[in-house]
Structure 1
Amino acid sequence: MSIALDDVSFAAGDTLIVDGVSLQAERGKVLGLLGPNGSGKSSLLRLICRLRKIRSGVIRLGDDDLASIARAALARRIALVEQQAETDTQMTVREVVRLGRTPHRGFLTPWLPQDEAAVAQALARVDMQERADRLWQTLSGGERQRVHLARALAQEPDELLLDEPTNHLDIQHQLDILSLVSRLGITCIVALHDLNLAAMFCDRLAVLEGGRIVAAGTPEAVLTEDLLERVFGVRAHVEKSPVHGRCNIQYRMG
């Protein structure tokens, strides 16, 4: 396994946010995190990045305990794409994406051709190369999200964590971004709200409710009509899509 959590808990003050989660992300596969608002998806991603400190349990990257990995080494291995990231600094798109190279460079390390190549490739992957010299502040919300993904890809991580990466994208770019993520060939954990997109692009799913894992497995095994009503409070019909072959959810009215 690339990422493994064993009985991991996290609390904010006296409030338990993540409660005894055990979960595995297979190397090179896409794991989708689903659950209602406040179920612990974002907190779980931040624990894996060590942006939050676990209260109990163990998180492993490969054979290594996450707590034993130096921060510099961790930054070269894991990239996080958050829901929103803002800056008042006047920066071009290219300059933002160049920040992804920071973990690979020392304080006095010169900018190298491989750095520029990684940035160019990342921009091309998210179709932002023609906007590379535009100011960040002039971009739409969807364009900014694509730049965040490009920054993460320029980091050349082994593990990529994404927190609602399609929130501000139109449907074409939602499909483009998740299709790209599914083809990267690196370990990805993606928190999503759209259940049909999760079914289309994730190899496995884990559903959180109240900080606990209540279901995990393939999309077909997890996204049952009973679970959708019990966890998400919606009545739905689930069937195999004749278009992409994955399960497809049709919500019932009333």
Structure 2
Amino acid sequence: MSITVDQVTYAAGNTVIVNGVSISVEKGKVLGLLGPNGSGKSSLLRLICRLRQVRSGIIRLGDDDVSGLSRAALARRIAFVEQQSTTDTQITVRDVVRLGRTPHRGLLSSWGSDDDAAVEEALARVDMAERARQLWQTLSGGERQRVHIARALAQSPSELLLDEPTNHLDIQHQLDILALVAKLGLTSIIALHDLNLAAMFCDHLVVLQKGEVAASGTPEEVLTEDLIARVFGVRAHIERSAVHGRTHIQYRVS
């Protein structure tokens, strides 16, 4: 397994937010992390990249316990794309992506051809090479998310974490972003709210409820009418899409 979370618990003060969670992601696969607001999705992602400290349990990248990795080593291995990021600084698209090379450069090291190559490749992979000189502030929401992903790719990671990457985007950009991630070939965990998008683009799903795993498996195994009613509190009808062949959910209005 490329990412393994083994019986991990995390608490803020006396409030347990992640409670004994175990998940695993195979190399090169995309795992969708689902659950209502407050279920622990964002906290779990931050625990994996060590922005939060586990109370108990172990998180591994391959054979390596993340608690034993230096910050620089961890940043060279895993990239994290948060929901939203902004800046008032006048900065170009290329400059944003260049920030992804920080973990690969020492305090006294100069910018090299390897750094240039990583940045240009990252821009090309998200189809933003032609916008490289454009100011960040002039981009649309979907374009900014592409640049965020390019910055993450410039880190040359083997694992990619994304926290609600399609939040606040229109449907075209939601589809574009998730299709892009699915084609990257990186081991990825994506926290999502939209169950249909998760079914379309994820190989495996984990549903969290009140900080615990409520279900885990393929989209077909996980997204059942019973689970959707029990975890999300809505009635639904499940069918296989005639368009993409994956699970499709139709919600019932009471």
Q: What is the TM-score when the length of structure 1 is the normalising length?
A: 0.97
In structure 2, distance between residues paired with 1:171 and 1:132: 24
In structure 2, distance between residues paired with 1:118 and 1:170: 29
8 A contact 1:10–1:56 mirrored in 2: yes
Q: 1:121 is matched with which residue? A: 121
Q: 2:202 is matched with which residue? A: 202
1:156 aligns with 2:159: no
RMSD of the alignment, in Å?
1.1
Q: What is the TM-score when the length of structure 2 is the normalising length?
A: 0.97
Amino acid at match of 2:250: Q
Q: After TM superposition, give the deviation of residue 142 of structure 1 in Å.
A: 2.4
In structure 2, distance between residues paired with 1:136 and 1:225: 43
Amino acid at match of 2:112: L
Q: 2:85 is matched with which residue? A: 85
In structure 1, distance between residues paired with 2:233 and 2:196: 16
Q: What are the ranges of 5 or more consecutive residues in structure 2 without an aligned counterpart?
A: none
Amino acid at match of 1:62: G
1:11 aligns with 2:28: no
Q: After TM superposition, give the deviation of residue 155 of structure 1 in Å.
A: 1.0
Q: After TM superposition, give the deviation of residue 85 of structure 1 in Å.
A: 1.3
Amino acid at match of 2:191: A
Q: 2:63 is matched with which residue? A: 63
In structure 1, distance between residues paired with 2:244 and 2:12: 41
Identity across the alignment (%): 75
1:33 aligns with 2:33: yes
1:218 aligns with 2:241: no
In structure 2, distance between residues paired with 1:140 and 1:185: 26
Amino acid at match of 1:68: G
1:189 aligns with 2:189: yes
In structure 2, distance between residues paired with 1:119 and 1:211: 37
Amino acid at match of 2:10: F
What's the secondary structure of 2:166's corresponding residue? coil
Q: 1:76 is matched with which residue? A: 76
8 A contact 1:142–1:168 mirrored in 2: no
* More moved, 103-112 vs 193-202: 103-112
Deviation by residue 1:179-223 (Cα, 9 ceiling, x = unmatched): 121121121000001101100110000000000000000000000
In structure 2, distance between residues paired with 1:91 and 1:196: 36
In structure 1, distance between residues paired with 2:173 and 2:101: 25
In structure 1, distance between residues paired with 2:232 and 2:166: 20
Q: After TM superposition, give the deviation of residue 111 of structure 1 in Å.
A: 1.7
In structure 2, distance between residues paired with 1:15 and 1:179: 36
8 A contact 1:145–1:168 mirrored in 2: no
In structure 2, distance between residues paired with 1:125 and 1:167: 21
Segments of 4+ moved more than 4 angstroms: none
In structure 2, distance between residues paired with 1:64 and 1:156: 18
Paired residue total: 254
What does residue range 139-178 of structure 1 map to in structure 2 within 5 Å? 139-178=139-178
Q: What are the ranges of 5 or more consecutive residues in structure 1 without an aligned counterpart?
A: none
Deviation by residue 1:86-144 (Cα, 9 ceiling, x = unmatched): 22222111100000111111122222222112212211222222221122222222222
